[in-house]
């Protein structure tokens, strides 16, 4: 894995998100109330809702448009047929790092 720093953990609000803009679309970076961080595709496959504007609860996020709930660990929609991409993150010395190789391997489709 090839890690790059994207922000400080304190730049992401508790139970909130920030977006990472890439050439192939945005990635939502979430922080739970226990300071765990997750990165997933920012677009809901149902109606293209911006997941970074959704509600974070536990290890899940709820789409702000139609209430689909996604597991932040797996990207799988709960109770629905759909999924979003996930990206490896880690936190070192208060900085959030993402696997740049995984970002580069994203599909534009």
DSSP assignment of 41-52: ESB-TTT--BGG
Looking at the domain that runs over 3-99, which CATH code has it been given? 2.102.10.10
What tokens were used for 26?
Answer: 């945005």
Q: Are 89 and 18 in contact (CB under 8 A)?
A: no
Q: pLDDT below 70 — which residues of the chain? A: 107-109
Which pLDDT score is estimated for 109? 43
pTM above 0.85, yes or no: yes
Which pLDDT score is estimated for 108? 47
The residues with which 71 forms a beta bridge, in sequence order, are 60
């Amino acid at each position: 894995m090839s890690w790059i720093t994207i922000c400080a953990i304190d730049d992401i609000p508790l139970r909130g998100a920030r977006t990472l803009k890439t050439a192939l679309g945005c990635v939502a970076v979430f922080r739970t109330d226990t300071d765990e961080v997750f990165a997933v595709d920012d677009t809901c496959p149902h109606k293209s809702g911006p997941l970074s504007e959704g509600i974070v609860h536990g290890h899940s996020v709820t789409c702000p448009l139609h209430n689909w709930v996604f597991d932040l660990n797996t990207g799988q929609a709960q109770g629905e047929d759909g999924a979003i991409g996930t990206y490896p993150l880690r936190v070192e010395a208060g900085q959030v790092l993402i696997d740049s190789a995984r970002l580069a391997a994203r599909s534009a489709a």
